[in-house]
């Protein structure tokens, strides 16, 4: 029988945001902690990310989660999220996908009506409460990493837009949050391309002028995303996170929602115990609330909870034939954005 590399996975999405979950067929990843494993993938060997995310086995719309044994003894499972640019510390929508796959496929035992589990991530432990009935996970609630504001109302000069007032916050990753109305834009599906173009300009300016550094995790020190915020005519709070190489998160973005909660709390717009909801450009909804306040080093912080729904849509086997001329995949600028051709 011909030998081919085979990776087993499930396709899942959380409120429309696709997050493939790899359950088998990957090599051991060096590192003592999940954070060290993330850094190894980013700094030494990105072949697994490229193989599973680049065409023909992946696409620009996709995230891929590596399901790993937990390193922290308090956790039930570990995961690392890979995206089009690199591996990131945490993702709320992907944690929902991972939790749903773990329980609905029987990797972890489902309890009724609530299953409690803990995920090990590079950003720390994430307690999960999954609402379960009839073999299905109906909702996943995540206690996100402690979130805080680093810069509030920072005036950022952006060559294409002039001075733009932004907030910089951590919600599992670092975000630059921008009220879209400043740019004459509304958060909505019809403006997806314009939002992406504006975000790329803002990101380039922010990378030059804003330094970020997690107070407890020194290697988490880069801005990962720009997220536009808005308020619809019906009063709904709208989120649009822009991912490399240039697309909108189809969900309201879990880590972005946590970062936005931290900003709202810093501005006196929401208090511990209060709940709100965030919506994406396709109508997906994450419920959000502040469980309590805390401190992260010198920063006042919050403990946020984000909840949403996730569905499994595929059972997959990815293969790499030894004669395949594209074992690590490829990207082209027609889909992946200007300047990309690998």
In this structure, what token pair is assigned to residue 188?
A: 């909505």
| H-run or E-run covering 97 | helix 92-104
Look at residue 335 in the predicted model and tell me its pLDDT. 83
Residue 271 has pLDDT above 60, yes or no: yes
Dist. CA 118–CA 142, nearest whole Å: 9
Q: Domain residues of the chain, as ranges?
A: 5-140+311-336, 147-308
Mean per-residue pLDDT, 241-264: 95
pLDDT surpassing 70 at residue 338:
no
Q: Is the pLDDT of residue 38 over 80?
A: yes
Mean pLDDT confidence for 70-97: 95
Catalytic residue annotation: 91, 253
5-140+311-336 and 147-308, same CATH topology: yes
Q: Residue 341: what pLDDT? A: 53
Residues 6+ apart with CB under 8 A from 286: 15, 92, 251, 252, 253, 254, 257, 277, 278, 306, 307, 308
Residue 339 binned pLDDT confidence (cut-offs 50, 70, 90): low
Q: Are 212 and 259 in contact (CB under 8 A)?
A: no
- Give the model's pLDDT for residue 246: 84
DSSP secondary structure letters along 51-93: HHHSBTT--TT-EEEEEE--SSTT-SEEEEEE-SS-EES--HH
Domain covering 147-308: architecture:
Roll (3.10)
Residue 1 has pLDDT above 50, yes or no: no
Question: How many residues does this entry show for the chain?
Answer: 342
Give 233's pLDDT tier (boundaries 50, 70, 90).
confident
Element (H, E) at 30: none
Structure tokens at 179: 């009220």
**pLDDT(342) > 70:** no
Q: What's the CATH class of domain 5-140+311-336?
A: alpha beta
pLDDT given for residue 88 in this prediction = 94
Q: What does the alpha-carbon distance between residue 211 and residue 176 come to, in Å, rounded to a whole number? A: 11
C-alpha–C-alpha distance, residues 25 and 9, integer Å: 9
What would the mean pLDDT of 4-12 be, rounded to a whole number? 94
Residue-wise pLDDT for 310-337, tens only, equals 999 999 999 999 999 999 999 988 888 7
What does the pLDDT average to over 87-112? 97
Question: Do 261 and 254 form a contact (C-beta atoms < 8 A)?
Answer: no
Average pLDDT in the chain: 95
Phi/psi region, residue 327 (left: phi>0; alpha: psi -120 to 50; beta: rest), is alpha
pLDDT digits (tens, 9 = 90+) for 125-181: 999 999 999 999 999 999 999 999 999 999 999 999 999 999 999 999 999 999 999
pLDDT in tens, 150-166: 999 999 999 999 999 99
- What is the mean predicted confidence (pLDDT) over 85-113? 96
pLDDT in tens, 54-66: 999 999 899 999 9
């Amino acid at each position: 029988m011909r030998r081919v590399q085979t990776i087993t996975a499930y396709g899942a999405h959380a409120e429309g945001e696709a997050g493939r979950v790899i359950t088998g067929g990957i090599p051991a990843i060096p590192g003592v902690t999940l954070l060290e494993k993330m850094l190894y993938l980013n700094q030494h060997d990105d072949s697994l990310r490229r193989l599973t995310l680049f065409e023909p086995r992946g696409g620009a719309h996709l995230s891929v989660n590596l399901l790993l044994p937990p390193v922290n003894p308090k956790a039930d499972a570990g995961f690392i999220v890979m995206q089009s640019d690199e591996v990131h510390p945490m993702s709320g929508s992907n944690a929902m996908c991972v939790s749903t796959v773990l329980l609905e496929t029987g990797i972890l035992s489902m309890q009724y009506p609530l299953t409690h589990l803990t995920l090990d991530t590079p950003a720390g432990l994430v307690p999960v409460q999954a609402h379960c009935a009839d073999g299905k996970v109906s909702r996943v609630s995540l206690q996100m990493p402690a979130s805080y504001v680093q810069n509030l109302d920072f005036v950022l000069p952006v060559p294409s837009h002039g001075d733009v007032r932004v907030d910089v916050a951590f919600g599992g990753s670092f975000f630059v949050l921008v009220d879209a109305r400043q740019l004459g834009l509304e958060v909505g599906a019809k403006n997806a391309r314009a939002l992406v173009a504006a975000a790329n300009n803002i990101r380039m300016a922010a990378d030059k002028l804003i330094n970020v550094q997690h107070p407890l995790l020194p290697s988490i020190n880069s801005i990962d995303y720009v997220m536009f915020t808005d308020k619809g005519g019906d009063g709904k709070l709208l989120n649009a996170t822009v991912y490399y190489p240039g697309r909108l998160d189809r969900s309201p973005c879990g880590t972005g929602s946590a970062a936005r909660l931290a900003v709202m709390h810093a501005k006196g717009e929401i208090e511990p115990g209060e709940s709100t909801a965030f919506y994406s450009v396709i109508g997906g909804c994450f419920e959000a609330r502040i469980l309590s306040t805390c401190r992260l080093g010198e920063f006042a912080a919050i403990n946020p909870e984000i909840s949403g729904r996730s569905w499994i849509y595929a059972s997959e086997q990815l293969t790499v034939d030894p004669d395949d001329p594209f074992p690590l995949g490829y990207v082209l600028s027609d889909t992946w954005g200007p300047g990309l051709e690998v």
